[in-house]
Amino acid sequence: MKKALRQGVLDARFRLTPEERRAKSREIEKRLFGLPEFQASRTVLFYASFRSEVETHDMVRRALAEGKRVVLPKVKGDHLLLFEVADFDRDVKPGKWDIPEPAGGKQVQPEEIQFIVVPGAAFDLQGNRLGYGAGFYDKLLKAYPGSTAALAFELQILPDIPVDVHDVPMQRVVTEKRIIEIKS
């Protein structure tokens, strides 16, 4: 069920043109950077967008220009290692599965991060997240007490997503049209 649901949403996301993806990503960026929790956060974990994901490369550059400490994940075995990035264009290279990741840098512990920007295949109005199937972010978020926001195109918002015991819901989902705040 999850696999078919994931594939359907990813197929729809892949059908967005690069121009549509850029324009929608810019709207999402405006909403994300306007969040008081994001503005108050000194250290932010982003993901480096890949393929048809909400584009984050310019968001990372902007956060760095605004003086934030930016952290990006790197896949290591079955979990994510977190590294500080000082210059996106210099410090980020294609890694596992060609996903952009830090080429090195200072390793950061999850408790140093105040805000996590989360990718995903699909989300629902209760904050449930359908990831890509490896569970990397669920493992990271399980013990994380800070603020989270998932970035998604409106077409990734579904009425209901099946959840498992290890799935960690989002606090909010930011799309090009709205911010969905999840009541806990």
- The CATH homologous superfamily of the domain defined by 2-177: NagB/RpiA/CoA transferase-like (3.40.50.10420)
Compute the average pLDDT of residues 154-181: 94
Nearest one of 10, 2, 12, 83 to 47, comparing CA atoms: 83
Q: For residues 129 and 120, is the Cβ–Cβ distance under 8 A?
A: yes
Domain ranges of the chain: 2-177
Compute the average pLDDT of residues 6-22: 96
Q: What is the pLDDT of residues 95-145, one digit of tens each?
A: 877 889 999 889 999 999 999 999 999 999 999 999 887 778 988 998 888
